[in-house]
Amino acid sequence: MTEKNKVALITGITGQDGSYLAEFLLSKAYEVHGIMRRASVFNTERIEQIYQDPHQSHRRLFLHYGDLSDASNLNQLIKIIKPDEIYNLGAQSHVKVSFEIPEYTANTDALGTLRLLDAVRGSGVKTKIYQAGSSEMFGQATQMPQTEATAFNPASPYGAAKVFAHHICKIYREGYGMFICNGILFNHESPRRGKTFVTRKITTGIANILSGKQEKIYLGNLEAKRDWGYAPEYVEAMWLMLKQDKPDDYIIATGETHSIREFLDAAFRLVNLNNWEKYIGIDPAYYRPVEVNLLLGDYSKAKKLLDWQPKVKFAELVKIMLEADLKQAGLDNQKFIQHLPNHSRNGAGIK
């Protein structure tokens, strides 16, 4: 007798992580349901390739209109889909934008999580839940590196909303015995990263400069440091958390931190433009009212309990993203990309 395929529901399936997670779960023979928002233009670009799949995994992928601000929609979907696992990735995820639309951000990221938990609780469906927490919850961090025991000190409406979501998940886990894991993921990037986040803004900007479409990239604070990992590896960690016997909270990070300046240096060097300063303009519009200067994660708990560790580190991540954007711009990678020295695979950058 064959085991029934597991059923997963992903909020935020059209985003960077949602698209990688959908592919990953389909590769594990899950039936995958995703909640997508109605938009006036196509917003399914990141999951289009699933429909090109020769193994026809799209036949196990189902998309539903919905929104984390709509409790009746969430209640209805949980009752119809009866998921074994829910991955709550839907969010207004841009930190700078959260200063401009704080109420919307709180409604989606904080209250949206609460609505989802209540929909599950009210349905009586037994499901495991992954909550997409963020290193931004540490904000102006009180400890270096950050561990699961580090106090939260958020520095943005986004960070504050994610702290609420984290705590409400813990409260429902302890109070109602629900299986809920909080991932505390540090920045993770990929060729599918939104183009307004700094890494992708730089790699698409370089592709545009090389194809003569743009002269300069306008950025904000170049001194901030982030612990940047590779998104496809991070979605696997989400799944591993739900595979454990007991629900818990885990940091997922690389254990390295690099500044925006270092990212610029590495990316421009790869295309042999060593004097990158002349291609960069500083626009104060990209400064945040409060900045998070330094994030650095300690992933030793995930390594020990989930047997998870990052493989792609800084130098390789920059190369993966740049190559993808050059290719998308129709530029020949062989001509532009410099060969990396062997040691760069696991990052020769500043720890």
Using the minimum distance from each CB to ligand G4F, give the nearer residue, 31 or 136.
136
Contacts of ligand G4F in 251-290 (CB under 6 A): 260, 286, 288
Structure tokens at 102: 């704080």
136, 189, 233, 323: the active-site residue = 136
Stretch that binds ligand NAP, among 14-22, 171-179, 240-248, 326-334 (CB under 6 A): 14-22
Q: How many residues make contact with ligand NAP (CB under 6 A)?
A: 26
| CB closest to ligand NAP, residue no | 15
Tell me if 150 contacts ligand NAP by CB under 6 A.
no
3-state secondary structure of 284: helix
Contact mark string toward ligand G4F, 178..217, x via CB under 6 A = --------xx--------xxx--x----------------
* Measured distance CA(21)–CA(47) in Å, rounded: 10
Phi, psi of 155 (to 5 degrees): -125, 20
Size of residue set near ligand G4F by CB under 6 A: 22
Of these residues, 57, 93, 123, 134, which one is catalytic?
134
Angstrom CA distances, 51 to 55, 57, 123, stand at 10, 7, 31
Question: Is 136 in the active site?
Answer: yes
Site string for ligand NAP, 37-76 (x = CB under 6 A): x-x---x-----------------------xxx-------
The minimum distance between CB 272 and ligand NAP, in angstroms, equals 29
**Which of ligand G4F, ligand NAP, none does 121 bind, CB closer than 5 to 8 A by kind?**
none
Q: Which positions from 91 through 130 interact with ligand NAP, judged by CB under 6 A?
A: 91-93, 108
DSSP for 240-278, written as a single string = HHHHSSS--EEEE--S--EEHHHHHHHHHHHTT---GGG
Tell me the three-class secondary structure of 14-44, residue by residue.
CCHHHHHHHHHHHHCCCEEEEEECCCCCCCC
Catalytic residue among 87, 158, 172, 299: 158
- Each residue 120-149 as x (binds ligand G4F by CB under 6 A) or -, in order, gives --------------xxx-------------
Q: Token pair for residue 264? A: 């610029």
Q: Are strands 128-134 and 31-36 parallel, antiparallel or unpaired?
A: unpaired
Distance CA 211, CA 278 (A): 17
Q: Residues 21 to 80: which contact ligand G4F by CB under 6 A?
A: none
- Contact criterion met (CB below 8 Å) for 35 and 77: yes
- Backbone dihedral region of 198: left (phi > 0), alpha (psi from -120 to 50 degrees) or beta? alpha
CA dihedral 309→312→314→320, nearest 10 degrees, is -160
Report the candidate in 249, 30, 24, 234 with the shortest Cα–Cα distance to residue 129: 249
Q: Provide the pairing of β-strand 258-259 with 225-226.
A: antiparallel
> Does 117 contact ligand G4F by CB under 6 A?
no
Q: Which does 256 bind (CB under 5 to 8 A by kind): ligand G4F, ligand NAP, none?
A: none
CA–CA gap between residue 194 and residue 201 (Å, rounded):
8
Stretch that binds ligand NAP, among 50-58, 88-96, 320-328, 332-340 (CB under 6 A): 88-96
Selected range binding ligand NAP among 89-97, 290-298, 318-326, 330-338, rule: CB under 6 A: 89-97
Catalytic status, residue 230: no
Enter the tokens of residue 331: 């530029």
| CB-based contacts of 23-26 (< 8 A; 24+ apart in sequence) | 23/49, 23/50, 23/57, 24/232, 24/235, 24/236, 24/239, 25/239, 26/50, 26/53, 26/57, 26/60, 26/61
Which of the stretches 39-47, 50-58, 75-83, 93-101 binds ligand G4F when contact is defined by CB under 6 A? 93-101
Structure tokens belonging to residue 61: 């992928």
Closer to ligand G4F at the Cβ: 129 or 163?
163
Which residues carry out catalysis? Answer: 134, 136, 158
The binding site for ligand G4F (CB under 6 A) comprises 93, 95-96, 134-136, 186-187, 196-198, 201, 219-221, 224, 226, 260, 286, 288, 291, 295
The binding site for ligand NAP (CB under 6 A) comprises 11-12, 14-18, 35, 37, 39, 43, 67-69, 89-93, 108, 132, 134, 185, 187-188, 194
